[in-house]
Structure 1
Amino acid sequence: MADVVPGDGQVGPVVAPGSAAAPYPAGWEADVVLTDGSTTRLRPIRPDDADALQAFHVGQSERSTYLRFFATLERLPERDLERLVNVDHVARVALVAVSGSPGSGEPERILGVARYDAYGAETAEVAFNIADAHQGKGLASVLLEHLAAAARERGIRRFVAEVLPQNGRMLAVFKEAGYAVRQRTEDGVVQVEFDIDPTDRSLAVAADREHRAEARSMRALLTARSVVVVGPGDDADEGLAARQAARVVAGLAPQARAGRLTVHGVGVSPDLGTDADGVQHHERLDDVPGPVELAVVAQSATRVLDTTRRLGALGVRGLVLVSGGFAEAGPEGLARQRLLLGVAHGAGMRVVGPSSYGLVATHDGTTLDASLAETPPRPGRVGLFCQSAPFAVTLLAAVERRGLGLAQLVSAGHRADVSGNDLMQFWGEDDDTEVVALYLESIGNPRKFSRVARRLASHKPVVVLTAGRSGHVVPPGHAVRPTRAPRRTLDEVMRQSGVIRVENVHQMLDVVQVLAHQPLPVGRRVAVLASSTGVAALVAEAAAAAGLVVTPRVELLPESASGDAVRAAVERVYTDPEVDVVVVVRIPTLGDPDPVLAAEVAQAAARTGRTTVACVDGLHGVRPELRAVDPDGRERTVPAYAAPEDAALALGHAARYAAWRAADRGRPVHPEGVDTRAAGRLVARALAASGATDGEPVALEPAQAAELLRAAGVDVWASVRVHDADEAVAAADRLGWPVAVKTTVPALRHRADLGGVRLDVADADELRADVAGILALAGEHDPGPGVPPLEVQAMAPHGVACVVRSSEDPLFGPVISFGLGGDASDLLGDVTYGVPPLTDVDVAELVRTPRAAPRMFGYRGLPALDVTALEDLVARVSVLADALPDVRSLELNPVVVSPQGLAVLGAYASVAPADRADAARRLARP
């Protein structure tokens, strides 16, 4: 689902009973996937929910009512009912899970209620009530996640609850949520208490629940065995939709004739010849006997909403919408799309599309071809996701030319609901899929993408092609937030996630075919089997450029080589213990292709498990001539490429991925002494004092920035801003000599090379002279309203100056950057980026990746610097940025790293209300 999540983990103001009511928090509305794969809607309770809440209560069993209220109540008293539906959304908050939607034509039904009532400083009492028919679907866990997130935004830090001992399900929900639960029994009632600040375990529990739920929702689509195809009927104005519906029916018909699928057609012309045999045609949707698992709809956008309402009555779990006319059509279409999603999710359906090419999936010998393809792709072990329907046409054609097989193909179209993240969740659990490939026109939630992709890539290769290198491309119809992040940020997200990023379709399929048909490389040492020395040299160069290590093992096979010579050369290559991977290139200039080489290479590769790629005359893609069976009985095929460079590049990608997968990815960083609560209170005070409501950043005063960092365990060296030489000397006397004196003019603040900074000032006379020089240099530059022109600071130990920054981006969330100080780093782009949460390995890589990083590790005989202290600093900044989205920007500049420690000499921060997209706890409609 599209993800819009405000401030997960954000620290808000402390509430108290009697707080003024807040406006209706629309940002808490959410569409969520339950553990059975169905969907429901969460939203804050409203006064007009009184009748629905009473109906919910009356429908509960006597046992459920007793467990909730410790008494049997046939009906809620009117006074209590009024109190329950009227909340202030601050000290008293209630969330309801509902089926149906305002646009469905049917009244909403409440499926579950969660509420808290705050008391004291940071504590609230919570209570839950789930409809009997919906217990066991994870609804209470979802409500707890969302209620805790809402509470944190209101400054609540602790939940307490009173639970009857026999209410084992509710006690299990608390215990299994990942919080440290404390409980005791008093007067026959279990008193439960737990802090709701996110922990590694609570985040992992939420992510695991989300993973299972989304995987199951996708499985319901991809393994459906009953399908209804809804077309436009005899509407002459919908000729394209009629052809689309007919095409889908024709694709489903063969499996229907074989008895593997039940297929219904509504509004689809039955005049399709024998291809439509086995399809049950109906005049009206109401005539279709339910239940039906999957629906494919090809109708005008104005008719789809009514069709979706009717599909809900059939129990449909997935809707594939091949027609368009929604968000890509402008504001009116976007409103129509939002209404459609509300109706679909309220009925428990996931939506693929609009403008989808459809889906194809093979499972247990049955091919579900609910797509617009003329012929379905051959079965295989590759899961393929793409967004654009036209791109799906060319992609499938390329897959067919190479002889690749697919386990699934899903085209998300404009990605209103089902996205690549959902499919990755499914592929993580699907035994039929071994390699995943995604073509992404846009990434709506990079934070979730990074989390889900990393989890999947840890045991299955993920190959990604994006429409643009930066992730800044937003096609019409895609709900994507704007971004201010540097264009390299998406590269870092991909690298951290372990995905293989490629430049074009050609590369994507090159990489997929080696990953799908060869074992992962155990190393990077490559042997070359070539037809001439010239070819061998070219292959070696291509292999080195791809990151492989060329070994001395180069075997030549001239065109005149006999079959025995070929076998001997192959044997020498594959028995060499210093070889991990093999590149075979043999293209004769005269004569027919070698009939011996392909079979010998295929057998040797399968026998030894050495990853092999080939460039052989007359062969391209996955061909039976290069196929053999390995010792475990599995078929292995050496993939064939059009050019040696393509083969080497694909092999290099595979080797890097194998190394990433085998490496320790580290543990999430949790530096001691980081108090995000204190930092959050400071930010809340700063925002309240500024009165900012327009989202524009408010700069913190230097003392506030220092206090913010002190809450993260980072000390900023004291400095004194002064107006003239006399004040500078007095400041130096207080701070201690020697000192540094700097201009506060932004353009010259860190420019020692231009004279804006004077270091190692030892006495008053030298300081007065330096002050005069700096003031003359600054000239008419204005340091800012009310800002003194000079700053004096005690002299730090000598070392290397670095810059650590964080910025809150609307799309990527917190982005951390690191580089060495100076203009050269900025001008040459020698800056590295990371997207929290970071592990200790991520932090180490962030610090070591800049090209200038060797200066910190004993460059040219200089002493090595205290990089451990630097890594600790970066970790603290990342944790602070991750926990506090309202910190719009933070810059530590300069950070002087010496052989024994570091000194943060300057800190600059700005704050602004944030609205972070993060699906760790909430899936909301766009």
Structure 2
Amino acid sequence: MADVTADDHPSPGPVYPAAWEADVVLHDGSTTHVRPLRPDDADALQAFHVGQSERSTYMRFFAPLERLPERDLARLVNVDQLDRVALVAVSSGAEPQDADQIIGVARYDRIGTDEAEVAFNIADAHQGRGLGSVLLEHLAAAARERGVRRFVAEVLPQNGRMIGVFKDAGYEVRQRTEDGIVAVGFDIDPTDRSLAVMADREHRAEARSMRDLLHAGSVVVVGPGVDAGETLAGRLAARVLADLLVADPSVLVHAVDVPGDPALPMHAALADVPGPVELAVVAVPSDEAADVVRGLARLGVHGVVLLTSGFAEEGPDGLDRQRALLRVAHGAGMRVVGPGSYGILSARAGGLQLNASLADAPPPTGRIGLFCQSAPLSVALLAAVRRRGIGLSQFVSAGHRADVSGNDLMQFWADDVDTDVVGLYLESLGNPRKFSRVARRLSLLKPVIVVTAGRSGQVVPPGHAVRPTHAPPRTLAEMLRQSGVVRVENTHQMLDVAQVLAHQPLPAGRRTAILASSASVAALVAEAVAAAGLVVSGHVQLLPEDAPPERVDAAVDALYGDPDSDVVVVVRIPTVGGPDTVLQEAVARTAARSGRTTVACIYDLHGLTPELTATDDDGREWTVPAYSTPEDAALALGHAARYAQWRDGDRGRPLHPEGVETRAARRLVAGWLEAEASGDAALALSPERTSELLATVGVSVLPSFRVHDADEAVAAAESIGWPVAIKTTVPALRHRADLGGVRLDVADETELRADVEQVLTLAAGHEQGDVDAPLEVQAMAPHGSACVVRSVEDPLFGPIISFGLAGDASDLLGDIAYGVPPLTDVDVAELVRTARAAPRLFGYRGLPALDVAALEDLIARVAVLADDLPELRSLELNPVVVSEHGAVVLGARAAVSRADRADATRRLSRV
């Protein structure tokens, strides 16, 4: 869900932390708004307290308290949001002028350097919805930003629900009982278990909210007025209403102000609609949408499909309208699909559909779930689906995805027993880190096929809330690869891959057998197979056009009887005559019974056809998908084989290198930033501070000594021990031994003095480096290959790790591998091996193999530091010399700044 930007709340007190505002989904699939408590919330807080039961009040304050005394009330609402922090969950009032209603409060008071006492209070009417867990996640995240690392609380023994919230959050809770009070305490730094708990809570809540939309049994369509038939909004509303009325008769349909046939059932006003109603489809002008959604709250609506546009894509005024709409919807517990949505389709029992969309001819029901942001593209996509005969389980168009996004649908599809394959068309990714986390979880269960707008995947259409990014386009490709996502170039390829993954078994391998009508066709098919990353097994069966039925059966049996083949490509394009029905039946029958993944390019067949459908010995129906060209067939099969290999492979374990203390790193950086008072500007760390920071994660930098002249260089070398390296601090020559800026294996004083003179002369013609100390003297590292390891904090992607071998060739040719933390040990190994020059590390051309394990350990430590420390704006280890025994960091640079990371597991935000 999208963060809602807070209004300004001027007060003489502390700066209001608007970044802590978020809209969240609760266990029951409904929504609420979480924000910091404000001084003007006094009346709402008193109303919340008065509305609580005597038991709840006693649990919170250990005493009966009918009303909060004015003095205590003032103290509770006036917090500094630093040492005293309070968050509230609120719901919207029924009228625009109504104040927020507080339904939950969480607060902490610092009682030590990094320890705080925490307390919660949840409205009686809203207990059991997961508010306590959500508020704990948000409060813990806010506390970590303020330097608090441990929560303590005093709880009555009978308040088992609150103690359960602490334990269920995944923290290691310690408790003791004294004088009838249970004292609990726990560290709030994320652990594997607490992160898994938060991700699981997020998954269940978002999946539930999507299930409520897609399985709605009652719908209300709200239009712009019965006399608005010629307007776009009027036509949209009329189209959806007509589709709903002819789709599933078990769905109860209401209509308000929808132009069209006066004989249709119509309510004069929204207030006349009897509740409850689960889903609303709204097509009204943008300036009326918030009021309509407010009126829907009375009906208990779970979700709103907003067909009309006129919101954030139209500039600041439209953005204000969109924010107002979301505040109303989320405050009333609703999810919003749109604006600018094409609608939703969902398969139901008996082959019927919930057709709350603009598609007058929906596709048949099936096992593929599709998500598409663009409404115009939805028209073409659904038309292509129908032409191919592809059946869908669900289709959702998110439009400008102000709220519901592809992440939400992936959460739902992970549990949906009616969906086997997922396809996503994404115009933009608002939260790549969350997408990666959710997609990886889903890809381990079901194939996920993704098309991004543009090759870079960084197109930002008007109205889409997306942070800027400075990451190279390859970053997105690497993130998708890590997540197990099948990335394709266009929607044509997406459907090509979807139909083979949905209607054929997963490939057991890449070895490919070919059936073709001639040697020349077989050669072309073999080329297409190889280009798709498959391997021709050597079994190529030629079947002339005039082959009799018995020869056809024999050829097909021989093809599928080959034990050295995993997949089959059948190409049959006759020069005269029509389709060969004997071949079609033989291929369909044998493919189904053998379980061998098969694709076909057969004249006059396209998509999923009955001619290529057969059942296996267990009665399950399989269809061999037909493609227009052999290249399309081979490409789809290649994607399927790579996905199967990824899913069957070892995905690794989370990184936990020994000796990593990221808490110490956070303390160091917080102190430096506070001392420098640099605001949001990046603070470049000195070499000493950089080494101190890296030491917290077990990375050491080979010491170097800044010197001015030959005498100081000799003294430094004497203290280090011969041989040494001498290098200039001029940026253009700093790591360039080939240009003379670095001299290695300097063995004695005479050689060193000569090298110093030559390096200083060379540097005089370039931009100066460190004026005070133009040279560095450093001990010699063991001989090996020089590499570069970098980390950059991107506004959109968060931390990005890159690796490459040092030198101009890697930079000029782009031979750099990227990874997006959090990484596993397998991800790190693949990162090192992805660089095209990586063979130099593994014994290239008879050279000894280098200590790649030490290099991977180093990268793992950098990845953990970057993931846990969003203040780390940039880090460069250059060079890292990998030898036969170890990896040594010879140079390091780092910069830090205030944290501004877009994603955290506690927030469901994309901005």
Counterparts of 2:95 and 2:727, CA distance in 1: 63
Counterparts of 1:156 and 1:396, CA distance in 2: 51
Bigger relative CO (Cα 8 Å, ≥ 6 apart)? 1
Contact 2:367 2:502 in 1 (8 A): yes
Bigger mean CA deviation after superposition, 567-576 or 441-450? 567-576
Contact 1:361 1:408 in 2 (8 A): yes
The one-letter code of the counterpart of 1:91 is D
Secondary structure class of the residue paired with 1:916: coil
Deviation at 1:686, TM superposition (A): 2.3
Contact 2:465 2:910 in 1 (8 A): no
Deviation at 1:737, TM superposition (A): 1.1
Bigger mean CA deviation after superposition, 481-490 or 65-74? 65-74
Contact 2:607 2:626 in 1 (8 A): yes
Contact 1:807 1:816 in 2 (8 A): yes
**2:219 matched to which residue of 1?**
227
Contact 1:30 1:925 in 2 (8 A): no
The counterpart of 1:412, out of the listed 377, 384, 398, is 398
Counterparts of 2:262 and 2:415, CA distance in 1: 38
Secondary structure class of the residue paired with 1:428: helix
**1:192 matched to which residue of 2?**
184
The counterpart of 1:519, out of the listed 495, 498, 505, is 505
Secondary structure class of the residue paired with 2:153: strand
**2:815 matched to which residue of 1?**
830
Contact 2:228 2:259 in 1 (8 A): no
Tell me whether 1:268 sits opposite 2:258 in the alignment: yes
> Which residues in structure 2 correspond to 1:45-56 (within 5 Å)?
45-56=37-48
Bigger mean CA deviation after superposition, 110-119 or 95-104? 95-104
Counterparts of 2:26 and 2:225, CA distance in 1: 35
Contact 1:5 1:917 in 2 (8 A): no
The counterpart of 1:923, out of the listed 884, 908, 911, is 908
Tell me whether 1:716 sits opposite 2:708 in the alignment: no
> Which residues in structure 2 correspond to 1:110-149 (within 5 Å)?
110-149=102-141
Contact 2:94 2:294 in 1 (8 A): no
Tell me whether 1:301 sits opposite 2:286 in the alignment: yes
Deviation at 1:685, TM superposition (A): 2.4
Q: Deviations over 1:798-830 (max 9, x none)?
A: 010000000000000000000001010011111
Deviation at 1:67, TM superposition (A): 1.4
Tell me whether 1:815 sits opposite 2:807 in the alignment: no
Secondary structure class of the residue paired with 1:547: coil
The counterpart of 1:616, out of the listed 571, 589, 602, is 602
TM-score, scaled to structure 2: 0.98
Bigger mean CA deviation after superposition, 641-650 or 75-84? 75-84
The counterpart of 1:479, out of the listed 444, 453, 465, is 465
Tell me whether 1:570 sits opposite 2:556 in the alignment: yes
**2:747 matched to which residue of 1?**
762
Secondary structure class of the residue paired with 1:228: strand
Secondary structure class of the residue paired with 1:449: helix
The one-letter code of the counterpart of 2:897 is A
Deviation at 1:102, TM superposition (A): 11
Secondary structure class of the residue paired with 1:37: coil
Contact 1:97 1:110 in 2 (8 A): yes
The counterpart of 1:435, out of the listed 409, 413, 421, is 421
Q: Deviations over 1:821-846 (max 9, x none)?
A: 10100111111000000000000000
**2:84 matched to which residue of 1?**
92
Tell me whether 1:494 sits opposite 2:483 in the alignment: no
Contact 1:744 1:790 in 2 (8 A): yes
The counterpart of 2:592, out of the listed 606, 620, 623, is 606
Deviation at 1:419, TM superposition (A): 0.3
Q: Residue 77 and residue 88 in structure 1: after superposition, are their counterparts in 2 closer, same or farther (change >3 A)?
A: same
Counterparts of 2:13 and 2:148, CA distance in 1: 16
Bigger mean CA deviation after superposition, 542-551 or 451-460? 542-551
**1:150 matched to which residue of 2?**
142
Counterparts of 2:759 and 2:273, CA distance in 1: 84
Q: Deviations over 1:441-496 (max 9, x none)?
A: 00000000000000000010000000022222111110000001111100000000
Q: Residue 158 and residue 854 in structure 1: after superposition, are their counterparts in 2 closer, same or farther (change >3 A)?
A: same
Counterparts of 1:47 and 1:505, CA distance in 2: 52
Counterparts of 2:385 and 2:603, CA distance in 1: 20
**1:2 matched to which residue of 2?**
2
Deviation at 1:21, TM superposition (A): 6.6
Segments of structure 1 that go 5 or more residues without pairing to the other structure are: 7-19
Counterparts of 1:903 and 1:3, CA distance in 2: 43
Matched residue count? 905
The one-letter code of the counterpart of 2:348 is H
Counterparts of 1:119 and 1:866, CA distance in 2: 48
Tell me whether 1:772 sits opposite 2:764 in the alignment: no
**1:32 matched to which residue of 2?**
24
Deviation at 1:97, TM superposition (A): 0.5
**1:729 matched to which residue of 2?**
714
Counterparts of 1:103 and 1:583, CA distance in 2: 63
The counterpart of 2:197, out of the listed 181, 196, 205, is 205
The counterpart of 2:65, out of the listed 62, 73, 77, is 73
Counterparts of 2:5 and 2:670, CA distance in 1: 19
Contact 2:4 2:323 in 1 (8 A): no
The one-letter code of the counterpart of 1:829 is G
Tell me whether 1:668 sits opposite 2:654 in the alignment: yes
Percent pairwise identity: 72
Q: Deviations over 1:562-602 (max 9, x none)?
A: 11101011111112221111000111101121111111111
Counterparts of 1:171 and 1:49, CA distance in 2: 27
Counterparts of 1:777 and 1:237, CA distance in 2: 79
Contact 1:382 1:516 in 2 (8 A): yes
Q: Residue 802 and residue 771 in structure 1: after superposition, are their counterparts in 2 closer, same or farther (change >3 A)?
A: same
Contact 1:4 1:923 in 2 (8 A): no
**2:158 matched to which residue of 1?**
166
Deviation at 1:781, TM superposition (A): 2.7
**1:803 matched to which residue of 2?**
788
The counterpart of 1:739, out of the listed 715, 720, 724, is 724
Q: Deviations over 1:547-574 (max 9, x none)?
A: 1111121111101101110101111111
Q: Residue 101 and residue 828 in structure 1: after superposition, are their counterparts in 2 closer, same or farther (change >3 A)?
A: farther
Contact 1:206 1:920 in 2 (8 A): yes
Contact 1:34 1:137 in 2 (8 A): yes
Q: Residue 330 and residue 235 in structure 1: after superposition, are their counterparts in 2 closer, same or farther (change >3 A)?
A: farther
Deviation at 1:167, TM superposition (A): 1.1
Q: Residue 221 and residue 919 in structure 1: after superposition, are their counterparts in 2 closer, same or farther (change >3 A)?
A: farther
CA RMSD of aligned residues (A): 1.6
> Which residues in structure 2 correspond to 1:521-560 (within 5 Å)?
521-560=507-546
Contact 2:4 2:327 in 1 (8 A): no
Q: Residue 106 and residue 194 in structure 1: after superposition, are their counterparts in 2 closer, same or farther (change >3 A)?
A: same
> Which residues in structure 2 correspond to 1:308-319 (within 5 Å)?
308-319=293-304
Q: Deviations over 1:333-370 (max 9, x none)?
A: 11111111111100000000001111111122341111
Q: Residue 4 and residue 860 in structure 1: after superposition, are their counterparts in 2 closer, same or farther (change >3 A)?
A: farther
**2:432 matched to which residue of 1?**
446
Q: Residue 595 and residue 618 in structure 1: after superposition, are their counterparts in 2 closer, same or farther (change >3 A)?
A: same
Q: Deviations over 1:174-225 (max 9, x none)?
A: 1111111111111122111110000010000000000000000000100001
Deviation at 1:786, TM superposition (A): 4.6
Deviation at 1:317, TM superposition (A): 0.8
Deviation at 1:83, TM superposition (A): 1.3
Counterparts of 1:264 and 1:240, CA distance in 2: 20
Deviation at 1:107, TM superposition (A): 2.2
Counterparts of 1:818 and 1:356, CA distance in 2: 41
The counterpart of 1:396, out of the listed 372, 382, 386, is 382
Counterparts of 2:878 and 2:193, CA distance in 1: 34
The counterpart of 1:216, out of the listed 208, 211, 225, is 208
**2:50 matched to which residue of 1?**
58
Counterparts of 2:327 and 2:701, CA distance in 1: 50
Deviation at 1:136, TM superposition (A): 1.0
Deviation at 1:235, TM superposition (A): 5.5
**1:386 matched to which residue of 2?**
372
The one-letter code of the counterpart of 1:632 is D
Contact 2:2 2:23 in 1 (8 A): no
**1:16 matched to which residue of 2?**
none
Counterparts of 2:886 and 2:39, CA distance in 1: 59
The counterpart of 1:690, out of the listed 676, 689, 711, is 676
Deviation at 1:287, TM superposition (A): 0.8
Q: Deviations over 1:90-139 (max 9, x none)?
A: 11111110001698432211111111111111111111111111111111
Q: Residue 924 and residue 523 in structure 1: after superposition, are their counterparts in 2 closer, same or farther (change >3 A)?
A: closer
